[in-house]
Structure 1
């Protein structure tokens, strides 16, 4: 039986979509952030090792997460 894992989409670096796959510096300049389900869709291999459930939160830049957002995340 595969483990069940929740993937909480909070935005930030992991959700930022750069101009190409080698864009590791200016990726945020595009202004595109993927949602949790869109990120998981890019890694279909995950289904081989776990059942991953996307949990949407909201896309927030990493530098914009503070105590109120952490409290909200705890309650998900």
Structure 2
């Protein structure tokens, strides 16, 4: 894949968003088709992905009033 001007512009947008919002680990906007992930030991790296087709929209899947499920149920 070749890095384009659109990718670099989105990178700068994500960089600013992460600087302003220090707790964010992901960033996207509605018009670029890209998503940025903050990672690294010092949280100073940004990885950008192009988004593909939507798998599905699953509404009202998380009951805010219920207890947190047992995390061991999801361990392999």
Q: TM-score, normalised by structure 1?
A: 0.24
Higher relative contact order (CA 8 A, sep 6+): 1
Q: TM-score, normalised by structure 2?
A: 0.24
Structure of higher CA gyration radius: 2
| Structure in which a larger fraction of residues adopt helix | 1
